[in-house]
């Protein structure tokens, strides 16, 4: 079967910034291991595989399937509406995390895409000594807990005491993999509330070596969890969107807008197509 393959940068409208994702259409007939191999070949943190119904989407890293990937969701609906004929407006995406509401608003060549995530669930609060050594840091924001939070793909949220500490993080990869395995949660979303630019509520970095992603440049599902977490602990005004700036060690960055409706976050962003290819497989 002929399949179209797209490379898309999400949470940006500028080429070579934001978070890159692969998008494969149609995915009908591909076995799980084939999708793992294709995701590995494309080399992004995640690749989205869209069924011919233009509704069912699966997400794979280079080693496994994950229930939800928000930046690859933005990439998928950017491709669906700008390249594959899906109309703008409201849609329902079916993925391993459930059915999610998507709204695509026409904005020239870069439509604005909103993803309504699942209600945030709060889990275990961790003691600092479990996490700090693996992350290679020692300066926490003691006004907030290290906590498991999920809106469909769980993360451990780690509040750091300064932006400098966040920027300097050099995690012990194997220690972080072992810790994630023991917690049943491979992703660690580290953030600082230290202000560095107007209009930004938090700065963040995302590490998930246990799922095959050493560092993710811009992570929508983690940002949704963080937005509800910050609202719950009284750190942000929930009447307006929370803005999170995320940047990785290579300098790729993006801005994530999180609007809260109670414990339900909606992530909004745009994307840009880098290139398209085709394969017969």
Active-site residues: which are they? 46
3 state DSSP class of 167: helix
- The candidate with the shortest Cα–Cα distance to 217, out of 240, 251, 180, is 251
What are 219's two structure tokens? 């992570």
What is the Cα 162 distance to its own chain's centre?
23
Q: What is the dihedral of CA 69, 105, 227, 182, to 10 degrees?
A: -10
Q: Is 176 helix (H, G, I), strand (E, B) or coil?
A: helix
232's enclosing H/E stretch is helix 220-232
Helix, strand and coil in the chain, % to nearest 5: 25, 40, 35
3-state secondary structure 37-95: HHHHHHCCCCEEEECCCCCEEEEECCCCEECCCHHHHHHHHHHHHHCCCCCCEEEEEEE
- Report DSSP letters for 191-211, one per residue: EE----STT--EEEEEEEGGG
């Amino acid at each position: 079967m002929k399949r179209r393959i797209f490379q898309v940068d999400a949470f940006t409208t500028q080429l070579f910034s934001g978070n890159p994702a692969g998008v494969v259409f149609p995915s009908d007939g591909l076995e799980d291991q084939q999708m793992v191999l294709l995701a590995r070949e494309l080399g992004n943190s995640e690749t989205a595989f869209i069924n011919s119904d233009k509704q069912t989407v699966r997400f794979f890293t280079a080693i496994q399937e994950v229930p939800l990937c928000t930046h690859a969701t933005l990439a998928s609906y950017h491709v669906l509406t700008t390249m594959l004929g899906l109309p703008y407006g409201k849609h329902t995406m079916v993925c391993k995390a459930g059915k999610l509401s998507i709204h695509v608003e026409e904005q020239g060549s870069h439509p604005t895409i909103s993803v309504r995530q699942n209600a945030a669930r709060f889990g275990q609060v961790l003691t600092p000594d479990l996490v700090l050594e693996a992350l290679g840091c020692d300066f926490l924001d003691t006004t907030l807990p290290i906590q498991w939070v999920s809106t469909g793909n769980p993360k451990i949220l780690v509040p750091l005491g300064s932006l400098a500490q966040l920027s300097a993080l050099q995690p012990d990869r194997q220690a972080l993999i072992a810790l994630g395995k023991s917690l049943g949660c491979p992703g660690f979303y580290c953030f600082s509330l230290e202000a560095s630019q107007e209009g930004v509520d938090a700065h963040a970095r995302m590490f998930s070596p246990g799922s095959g992603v050493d560092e993710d440049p811009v992570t929508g599902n983690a940002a949704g969890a963080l937005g509800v977490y910050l609202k719950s602990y009284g750190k942000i005004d929930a009447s307006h969107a929370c803005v999170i700036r995320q940047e990785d060690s290579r300098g790729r960055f993006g801005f994530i807008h999180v609007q809260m409706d109670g414990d339900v976050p909606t992530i909004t962003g745009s994307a840009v197509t880098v290139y398209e290819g085709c394969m017969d497989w």
